[in-house]
Structure 1
Amino acid sequence: MSSTERSHDHTACIKSALHNADLVCRRAGARLTPLRRQVLELVWQSHKPLGAYALMEMLQANSDRKRVAPPTVYRALDFLIEQRLIHKVHSLNAYLGCSNPRSDHSDALFICTQCGFTEEVPSHSIQQAINLSASQQRFTVQQKVLEIVGICGECRGSKG
């Protein structure tokens, strides 16, 4: 565990994410069911992307349910993506909490290959360049996912 993770208050982080989710869903007229809320809470337990099957196992371990079917988890994840409460990390086929779900924003995901820590970082200038290029090509952008893979400062610092 990195020193950044040790000093990070996950309880406050999760509480804030759930509060934001309540606000976002209320404004959208969407229903944050207990299962969707539980999936969101599990996604926020660390800043490392989690796969659907890992979430399914965690749900089963933390629940009275005997079995949670994959379609149930995927429907909850689809809802959370739709509400912009989580991001899908395509390169890892995993999910990460969105740190700013109340605004329409374009961020990049910095993914550490050593420890798995993933951080959402504003990327306005890069997104503007994508929009300009798309416009010049008469291309309509429907989704922008920018994932940058490398080694975080903590892991690079521990190497030497």
Structure 2
Amino acid sequence: MQHCDHSASTAELIANAEQRCLQRGTRFTPIRRRVFELISKAPGALKAYDLLDQLSDEHAAARPPTVYRALDFLIEQGLVHRIESLNAFIACSCPDHRSQFQLMICEQCGHVEELHDTRLVDMLEQVAQEQQFRLHRQTIELYGLCRRCQSGSPLNVY
């Protein structure tokens, strides 16, 4: 099982995103960059309308399609993950694993930990194969209490 390095700063995440887009020949436009920056700075997951509210303060012309197009691009590039059960988004600190990951979501503080447990991936792929099911993606979201919330540390320390 592999943990991603979640200690990267917002500036490091943005620099990595810019480099990734440059290598792939995709455009990291100012609005895409700003949406990614807002998600990267957030202590937990952000919903699209939270992003829209923040963008509207800066860009009067910001509309839902603008945000959703930017989010679609960021997901496609592996820079952002969508938390299906919350319909919210988090920055990915390890975009090379964009299709095989698990998320642990703290119900108390909202912290999201990204994991890459290949044992789970392999097991689910095997089950799908046995059932003659062609698997396109996996979404595994685990809810509970993070280490800090279990120990009674102050909230929002991430």
Q: Same fold (TM over 0.5)?
A: yes
Counterpart among 136, 140, 152 of residue 158 in structure 1: 152
CA distance in 2, matches of 1:44, 1:20: 12
Q: Please list every run of at least 4 consecutive aligned residues from structure 1 whose deviation after the TM superposition is greater than 3 angstroms.
A: 102-105
Amino acid at match of 2:125: N
Moved more, 100-109 or 90-99: 100-109
Aligned residues: 148
Amino acid at match of 1:54: D
CA distance in 2, matches of 1:23, 1:112: 31
Counterpart among 65, 69, 74 of residue 63 in structure 2: 69
Secondary structure, in 3 states, of the residue corresponding to 1:114? coil
- What RMSD in Å do the two structures reach over aligned CA positions? 1.7
Alpha carbons of structure 1 residues 125 and 22: separation in structure 2 relative to 1, 3 Å: same
The question of whether the paired residues in 2 share the 8 Å contact of 1:48 and 1:118 is answered with: yes
CA distance in 1, matches of 2:116, 2:29: 30
Structure 2: segments with no counterpart, 5+ residues = 1-5, 154-158
Secondary structure, in 3 states, of the residue corresponding to 2:45? coil
TM-score (norm 2): 0.87
Alpha carbons of structure 1 residues 54 and 39: separation in structure 2 relative to 1, 3 Å: same
Deviation at 1:107, TM superposition (A): 1.5
Structure 1: segments with no counterpart, 5+ residues = 1-7
State the percentage of identical aligned residues: 39
Amino acid at match of 2:136: Q
Deviations 1:130-155, CA, capped at 9 Å, x for gaps: 11111111211111111101111111
The question of whether the paired residues in 2 share the 8 Å contact of 1:109 and 1:118 is answered with: yes
Deviations 1:38-63, CA, capped at 9 Å, x for gaps: 000000113411000001111122x2
TM-score (norm 1): 0.86
